[in-house]
Amino acid sequence: MLDALRFITCGSVDDGKSTLIGRLLYESKQIFEDHYQELEKASGKYGTQGKELDLALLVDGLQAEREQGITIDVAYRFFSTENRKFIVADTPGHEQYTRNMATGASTADLAVLLIDARKGLLTQTKRHSRIVSMLGVRHIVVAVNKMDMIGWDEAAFNAIVTDIRALVENFGFASVQAIPMSALTGDNVAFHCEQTPWYTGPSLLEYLESVDVSKPEAIQPFRMPVQYVNRPNSEFRGYCGCVASGSINVGDSIRVVPGGAEAKVKSVVIWQGEQPTANTGDAVTITLDREVDVSRGQVLSSVDDPIEISDQFEASVLCLSEHHLVPGRPYLIKLHTAQVGVTISNIKFKLDINQGSHLAASTLELNDIGEVTLYTNLPVAFESYKQCKTLGAFILIDRMTNETVAAGMINFALRRASNVHWQSVEINKAARATLKSQKPACIWFTGLSGSGKSTIANLLEKRLFVAGQHTYLLDGDNVRHGLNRDLGFTEADRVENIRRVAEVAKLMVDAGLIVIVSFISPFRAEREYARSLFQEGEFVEVFVDTPLTECEARDVKGLYAKARQGKIANFTGLSSPYERPDSPEIQLNTLNCSPDQCVQTILSEVIKQQ
């Protein structure tokens, strides 16, 4: 028996994906009697095929799917013939559920791309073939479905095949097999259709049973990302993981990357015993001949051909979230077993799904595909996705909501982190601070326009100055006239605005100063990013909590009036959101407090920190 084949069905809405899987299950006799009886009942209730069985109902397992007659989420089904076992993922065709389609495609060896013979190539057909190719699926079957509806017209079939071949010409598929069929009647799915004497190829099931999806075996260097350190007692310390590529023998040397420590493999531990070798795909526990520092996220790697590390990458990403991807915003990246902070520094382009052309973009929205550059806050071990899927695939996670916002694939590193060193400096922050007899800090004001940030910040600086402290005030309006004058008020620009200011504040704190930052800084993620740049206790978030109605009533600069007249776009509080801090160090209520009292509150908190 051949290995198990994992494949997906994809294509546009109503092209017959679920029906096809139902048909495959039915023809391979994988439908149990009780499920069949349920199907008969459900077909009467929800079916779209009149009195006939609606095979799609075998896979559309969610109540909402059955009621609406659509597929929302990916379903995994299992069937086998005498020749092969199959895991098939039925994926949704609607654009809004593309992320569920990508979920199914990421682990597939082959994709069955359905096309409605009456409609030809649709936008979703193009989107899905592009995603499938981007995710490295190497084989596709073009299933031209509903051929019975057009009288098994050979010319129409050939026209669609010509179109699809032109589309996927540069997608790098190893094989493309086109089959005319009807999932509804089963023709050319499991048996040969009498209406298509002009088609001499295999039926779908015959093809799936025999297609060879194995990759040409090249000798790959050993890599195993460490998943878990097993230390039940002081006697035993094992590094658990799945071998991503290559193999290793007991006695071979390995290098721990990042880090660079080297050791020899003492044993490869498996259940109740040991084995001499660990091969690609094995889930093992490796022990080493000496104590080295190894933790989750590092990669055990061959010494002769060690894995590279970097902190800057060019990658292809697919946006999975309704909250678009914004350059400069801090995310987490999960790459094999490593998880570190990351920002998108630049969106190189967004892909036009229809034309395949490159568009300029400042953000990526749900279901957009684009190419970006990424900066991680620590170097990580990696391979390109093309070289090794396991070591080149990643997801991006929103730090606040924990939502998976993107899936991506590393194309290449922009530089090797090993070549870049921090300039080490002899005079450090502590030395500079001592000279000034103060503890450097960043006091970060956030709040709506007109809430009183600048007034309080100014007063605070005066008090500190009088007390002989060395300070600097960074004010939103002033910085926008210089350092950030190239930035507007879109979400992407606001994120970049705050990122720059946070970095400047960090340098100033490093210089030993007490920095007062007075910015609306409406987004929680950016404030958290700013916080992450500083040491524990250095960052004091001051939330000037003045209600919107009060700010608008004050309207010192007349901005609210203008915004209400529609003269200012993206105005915080009105047409752009303000995300309240969850737990600021200081929260000021300016309705009951004078600016003087507010400054007192801050000073006593800052003194406490000193």
Partner 1 sequence: MRSKQSQLEAQSIEIIREAVATSSNPVMMYSVGKDSSVMLHLARKAFWPAPPPFPLLHVDTTWKFREMIAFRDLMAKESGMELRVHINLAAQEEGISPFVHGSERYTDRMKTEGLKQALDSGGYDLIFGGARRDEEKSRAKERIFSFRAPGHRWDPKAQRPELWNLYNTRINTGETIRVFPLSNWTEADIWQYIASENIPIVPLYFAAERPVVKRGDKWIMVDDERFPLNAGESPEMRLVRFRTLGCYPLTAAQESNADTLEKIIEETLAASSSEREGRLIDHDGAGSMERKKQEGYF
Give the nearest distance from C-beta 242 to partner 1 in angstroms: 5
Give the nearest distance from C-beta 395 to partner 1 in angstroms: 5
Give the nearest distance from C-beta 345 to partner 1 in angstroms: 22
Give the nearest distance from C-beta 2 to partner 1 in angstroms: 8
Q: Which is nearer to partner 1, 340 or 487 (CB)?
A: 340
Q: Are 242 and 389 in contact (CB under 8 A)?
A: no
- Which tokens in the block code for residue 42? 């459900």
Kindly state whether residue 43 participates in binding partner 1, applying the rule CB under 8 A: no
Kindly state whether residue 103 participates in binding partner 1, applying the rule CB under 8 A: yes
Options 87, 161, 261, 340; binder of partner 1; rule CB under 8 A = 87
Options 390, 497, 518, 590; binder of partner 1; rule CB under 8 A = 390
Binding characters for partner 1, 538-577, by CB under 8 A (x = yes)? ----------------------------------------
Options 53, 102, 502, 602; binder of partner 1; rule CB under 8 A = 102
Q: Which is nearer to partner 1, 255 or 336 (CB)?
A: 336
Give the nearest distance from C-beta 76 to partner 1 in angstroms: 5
The size of the chain, in residues, is: 610
Give the nearest distance from C-beta 21 to partner 1 in angstroms: 11
Give the nearest distance from C-beta 244 to partner 1 in angstroms: 10
What SS3 state is found at 85? Answer: strand
Kindly state whether residue 85 participates in binding partner 1, applying the rule CB under 8 A: yes
Q: Which is nearer to partner 1, 242 or 303 (CB)?
A: 242
Q: Are 310 and 413 in contact (CB under 8 A)?
A: yes
**Looking only at residues 252 through 291 of this chain, which bind partner 1 when binding is defined by CB under 8 A?**
269-272, 281-283, 285
Total binding residues for partner 1 by CB under 8 A? 63
Options 13, 70, 303, 395; binder of partner 1; rule CB under 8 A = 395
Q: Is 132 left (phi over 0), alpha (psi -120 to 50) or beta?
A: alpha
Binding characters for partner 1, 62-81, by CB under 8 A (x = yes)? xxx-x-----xxxxxxx---
Distance CA 132, CA 8 (A): 10
Give the nearest distance from C-beta 279 to partner 1 in angstroms: 9
Write the single-letter amino acid at 496.
E
Kindly state whether residue 332 participates in binding partner 1, applying the rule CB under 8 A: yes
Q: Helical H runs in 117-252?
A: 123-134, 154-168, 204-210
**Cβ-based neighbour number of residue 262 at 10 Å:** 15
Task: Mark whether 80 is an active-site residue.
Answer: no
What SS3 state is found at 107? Answer: coil
**Looking only at residues 335 through 354 of this chain, which bind partner 1 when binding is defined by CB under 8 A?**
337
Q: Which is nearer to partner 1, 68 or 604 (CB)?
A: 68
Kindly state whether residue 42 participates in binding partner 1, applying the rule CB under 8 A: yes
Q: Which is nearer to partner 1, 72 or 161 (CB)?
A: 72
Options 141, 288, 381, 397; binder of partner 1; rule CB under 8 A = 397
Strand 308-319, strand 273-275: pairing: unpaired
Q: How far is CA 497 from CA 171, 478, 557, 573, in A?
A: 38, 12, 21, 18
Distance CA 174, CA 166 (A): 15
Write the single-letter amino acid at 357.
S
Q: Which is nearer to partner 1, 232 or 482 (CB)?
A: 232
Q: Which is nearer to partner 1, 189 or 397 (CB)?
A: 397
Single out the catalytic residue among 384, 521, 575, 576.
521
Which residues fall within 8 angstroms of residue 54, CB to CB, at 6 or more apart? 19, 22, 39, 42, 43, 46, 47, 48
Q: How far is CA 27 from CA 50, 78, 184, 243, 406, in A?
A: 21, 13, 12, 37, 37
**Looking only at residues 400 through 429 of this chain, which bind partner 1 when binding is defined by CB under 8 A?**
402-404, 407
Give the nearest distance from C-beta 215 to partner 1 in angstroms: 12
Strand 5-11, strand 110-116: pairing: parallel
Kindly state whether residue 323 participates in binding partner 1, applying the rule CB under 8 A: no
What SS3 state is found at 409? Answer: strand
Radius of gyration of the chain from its Cα atoms, rounded to whole angstroms = 30
Distance CA 109, CA 107 (A): 7
Give the nearest distance from C-beta 32 to partner 1 in angstroms: 4
In degrees and rounded to multiples of 5, residue 93 shows phi and psi of -95, -20
Provide the CB-side half-sphere exposure for 410 (13 A, CA).
Answer: 31
- Which tokens in the block code for residue 411? 């194309």
Distance CA 333, CA 344 (A): 11
Kindly state whether residue 134 participates in binding partner 1, applying the rule CB under 8 A: no
**Cβ-based neighbour number of residue 382 at 10 Å:** 26
Q: Which is nearer to partner 1, 285 or 451 (CB)?
A: 285
Write the single-letter amino acid at 332.
L
| Segment interacting with partner 1 (CB under 8 A) among 160-168, 389-397, 506-514, 549-557 | 389-397
Q: Helical H runs in 418-533?
A: 429-436, 453-466, 476-481, 491-510, 524-532
Which residues fall within 8 angstroms of residue 173, CB to CB, at 6 or more apart? 133, 137, 138, 139, 140
CA torsion through residues 59, 63, 66, 70, sign: negative
| Segment interacting with partner 1 (CB under 8 A) among 171-179, 238-246, 306-314, 471-479 | 238-246
Give the nearest distance from C-beta 420 to partner 1 in angstroms: 27
**Looking only at residues 207 through 236 of this chain, which bind partner 1 when binding is defined by CB under 8 A?**
214, 227-228, 230, 232, 236
| Segment interacting with partner 1 (CB under 8 A) among 27-35, 367-375, 494-502, 601-609 | 27-35
Find the angle CA(73)-CA(77)-CA(79) to the nearest 5 degrees: 165
Which positions lie near partner 1, rule CB under 8 A?
3-4, 32-35, 42, 45, 58-64, 66, 72-78, 85, 87, 99-100, 102-103, 106-107, 214, 227-228, 230, 232, 236, 240-242, 269-272, 281-283, 285, 296, 320, 332, 334, 337, 389-390, 393-395, 397, 402-404, 407
Catalytically active residues, by annotation: 521
